[in-house]
Structure 1
Amino acid sequence: MDYTIIQKYLQGKASNEEKEQLFNWLDESTSNKDEYIEIKKIWALTSREENVEGKTWSDIEPSELKPAKTKTLQHWLARAAVFLLLISCGAIGGRIISKIVETPVYSQMYSVISPAGQMTNIELPDGTLVMLNSGTKIQYSGDFTDGNRQVYLEGEAFFDVQKDVEHPFIVKSELLGVKVYGTSFNIQAYPEDRAFTATLIEGSIGILNTSGEEVTKLVPGEKAYFEESETNIDIRKVDTAMYTSWKEGLVTFRNERLEDIAKQIERWYNVEIVIQKEGLGDERYFGTILKNKPIDQILEVLKLTTSLEYEIVPRANEPSLIYWK
C-alpha cells in the first residue's frame, strides 16, 4: 500500500481514484483495517493548527507510517503521547482535546453498471450472486462487509442472496424495496417505467414501502406488481420462468403491447425505436424471443403476428435508429 495515499486521505486531499484504491485495500483483510486505525490514531494525536514544538502529521514522511515496522509505530505513538502531555500542561492554553472517536471510512458508494445490450454477473462482498439485465445499475456502500447489506437498484436483476440471519439483505428502488430472508428472486425497477415488479423463486421476501416499512410478504411462485399511478400492490401466482428466462437469453411475452416490448428491445440492443404508425404501439404480441439473435431477426419474428413494418437507420457514434411503421 502506498502510505502517501493514506496521508492525503486523512488530510482531505486524496483524489477519487486514490480513495478507491484505499477502500479496496481496506476490504482485502482485517489486518489492513487495523493498520489503518493505528495510522489514523497517530494522525489524530499529532495533527494541530498552531505551530508548536513537535512533529505534526504534515511533517511525517510516508515511509515512517508503515505499521509493519513495529518500532516506528511505537515511536510515533510515544511522540503523540508526549504531545498530549504538553497540551495538558498548558503548552497550548485553552485547547481542549476531544475524545477520539473512530469514524467510518467507508463513505464511498460502489456502482456496477450493465450497459444496454449486455448482461453482467457480479458477486457482492457477502457472497450474494447478482445477474444484471441490460441497462441496469446497482449500488452498495463501502461498509457492506460490516453487515450493512443494502443495495440500490435501477433496472432489472436476479438475486441469489447469501443467508445471514443477523444482517438482513435489503434491495431499494425508487418506488418500493425488498427485505430478503435468504432466497432467490427477480426485480424489475427501471426508473423510466415508473413501475416495480418482484418475482419470488425460492425462500421469502417482504415488500417495503419508501419508508422502509414491510407492507406484505411473498411466497415462492408469487409476483408483486406496483405502478406509481396506483395505490395498491397487485400480488398473484405466476409462472416464474417467464420472469427469469431472460438470464438464459429467452424472453416470453404474454399478450404484451408492442410499445412496452419496444422499450425492452431498446435496452437489449442499445437502439432507439420510433413508432410512427398510429395504433401500432397498442397491438399485442404473444410469443418467445431469443435475445441473442440479431435485431433484424427479432423484428422479423414480431412481424409474423402483428402489422409491424420497420426501417433500420445506422448512425455513427449513436444507437441505430429503428422506425416502426
Structure 2
Amino acid sequence: MVEREEMEDLLLRYYEGVTTEEETIRVEEWLGTSDENREIGWQIQTIVLAANVAQVSSKLDVKKALSNVHRKMKREKVGSRYQVLFRGMQRAAAILFIPLVVSWCMLYFDKDVQVAEMMEVRTNPGMTTSVVLPDGTEVILNSSSSLQYPSRFSEGERKVKLLGEAFFSVMKDKKPFVVKALSGSEIIVHGTEFNIEAYKESEMVQTTLVSGKVSFSYFNRGKKENLMMQPGQKVVYDIAQERVVVKKVNVDVETSWKDGHLIFKNTPFEEVLKRLSKQFNVEFVLKNPALKHNSFTATFTKQRLERILENFRISSNIRFKYIDDGNINTERQVIEVY
C-alpha cells in the first residue's frame, strides 16, 4: 500500500513535469509493466490536466459542482476507475487547485453542459507528456510545446492549435481533424498518424506522415495552397520564403523521440546537437566549425546526456565542456563543443 501511494505521488509529479531524470525513468518503466499500471497513470494524468481549466473555475459554482459530482456518484454504480480517480483527486488536494479539479469533474460527469471551454497542455523544457483529446485522439507532446483544444469538439470539425512538436494518432471520424500551426499553416486529416514540428523560434513547420493521408495547407505568395502527403514523406515549410520542400524520410528516425529514443542515420552533426538540445534542455556552442561537415549514425535508448556525449568523445574525439557563467538566472546549461 505504501509503495502504491508513493507511486501515485510520483505520477502526479511526473505529469506535472517536475520529476528528476531518475524518477522519470522509474515511472515510465512502471507504466510499461502492465495494463493496470497504464490505467492508473491515465487516471492520474486526467487529474493533472484538470489544473488547466482556469477559465472553467471562474464561471462555475464550486459548491454546486461538488454536490453534483457526489449526487451522480451515489446514483450510479461507480466502477473501479472512478473510485481510483476520486481517491486520487483527494490525494492531489495539496498539489492541485481544488476548484479547478471540481469544475472539471462537473464538466466530465454532467452531460448537460454545452459550453466548450478551451484547454491547454504544456510541457516543460526537456520533458514530454501525452494527452487524450475528447474524440479519443492521442497526442504526445515534445519538449517546450503547447497544445490548445476545446473540452468538446463542434459538430462540424475537430480543431486544435499546436506550438512546438507533437505526434498525433488521430481517431477516425467523419469530421475532419485540423491542426493549426505557425503562420496560418494547417494539417487536415481524417484518421492517421503523423508528426508536426512547429517551434516559433525556428520559423519552420515540418510534418512527417507515418500512415494514412493528410493535406498540408500553407501560404504561397499570399495565396492558400494544399499539398497531399503520402506515408513516409516529410514536408518542410519555410515560413519566411513561403517555400515547401517534400522529401522521403525514415519515419522511425523522425518520431523516435516520442518513445524516449534518439535515432541518428547519417545525420549532420548540427542536427544531432539540435535534437540533443531539445531532448535535454541544454544549449550547445559549436567552437569547431569543421564539425559541421560530420554525420553520425547511432541509436540511444533512454540514456543520460553525459553517456551520449561520452560516446561521441570516444568514437570521434569530439570534446564537450560545460560552462558555468555564474548566472543563476540562466535557464539552460551551456556546453561548448570542440
For Structure 1 versus Structure 2, the TM-score category normalised by the shorter chain is 0.5 to 0.7
The Cα shift of 1:21 comes to 5.6
**Which residue pairs with 1:86 in the alignment?**
none
CA contact (8 A) 2:126 2:279 kept: yes
CA contact (8 A) 1:189 1:197 kept: yes
Task: Report the CA distance shift for 1:227/1:122 in structure 2 as closer, same or farther (over 3 A).
Answer: same
Give CA deviations for 1:262-288 in whole Å, capped at 9, x if unaligned. Answer: 2221221122222233444x2322212
Give CA deviations for 1:297-324 in whole Å, capped at 9, x if unaligned. Answer: 1112233554531112467674322122
**Which residue pairs with 1:226 in the alignment?**
237
Give CA deviations for 1:59-109 in whole Å, capped at 9, x if unaligned. Answer: xxxxxxxxxxxxxxxxxxxxxxxxxxxxxxxxxxxxxxxxxxxxxx43x43
CA contact (8 A) 1:285 1:306 kept: no
CA contact (8 A) 1:200 1:220 kept: yes
Is 1:125 aligned to 2:134, yes or no? yes
Structure 2 distance, partners of 1:3, 1:125, is 19
Equivalent position to 2:305, from 272, 295, 306? 295
Unaligned runs of 5+ in 2: 1-55, 63-96
Is 1:310 aligned to 2:320, yes or no? yes
CA contact (8 A) 2:267 2:297 kept: no
CA contact (8 A) 1:312 1:323 kept: yes
Greater shift in the superposed pair: 210-219 or 240-249: 210-219
| Bigger radius of gyration | 1
**TM-score for the superposition, normalised by structure 2:** 0.62
Structure 2 distance, partners of 1:4, 1:209, is 37
Task: Report the CA distance shift for 1:7/1:264 in structure 2 as closer, same or farther (over 3 A).
Answer: same
Corresponding residue SS for 2:310:
helix
Structure 2 distance, partners of 1:3, 1:135, is 26
**Which residue pairs with 1:139 in the alignment?**
148
Task: Return the letter of the residue paired with 2:109.
Answer: E
Unaligned runs of 5+ in 1: 9-15, 34-104
**Which residue pairs with 1:73 in the alignment?**
none
The Cα shift of 1:236 comes to 2.8
Corresponding residue SS for 1:293:
coil
**TM-score for the superposition, normalised by structure 1:** 0.64
CA contact (8 A) 1:150 1:171 kept: yes
CA contact (8 A) 1:177 1:212 kept: no
Among the aligned pairs, what percent are the same residue? 30
Give CA deviations for 1:6-53 in whole Å, capped at 9, x if unaligned. Answer: 469xxxxxxx996886466234332344xxxxxxxxxxxxxxxxxxxx
Superposition RMSD in Å: 3.3
CA contact (8 A) 2:129 2:141 kept: yes
CA contact (8 A) 1:206 1:214 kept: no
**Which residue pairs with 2:333 in the alignment?**
320
**Which residue pairs with 2:188 in the alignment?**
179
**Which residue pairs with 1:244 in the alignment?**
255
The Cα shift of 1:173 comes to 0.8
Task: Return the letter of the residue paired with 1:137.
Answer: S
Greater shift in the superposed pair: 219-228 or 170-179: 219-228
The Cα shift of 1:186 comes to 1.3
Q: How does 1:74-153 map to 2 (within 5 A)?
A: 105-106=115-116, 108-144=117-153, 148-153=157-162
Is 1:195 aligned to 2:208, yes or no? no
CA contact (8 A) 1:285 1:305 kept: no
Task: Report the CA distance shift for 1:168/1:302 in structure 2 as closer, same or farther (over 3 A).
Answer: same
Q: How does 1:200-215 map to 2 (within 5 A)?
A: 200-209=209-218, 213=224, 215=226
Corresponding residue SS for 2:276:
helix
The Cα shift of 1:5 comes to 5.3
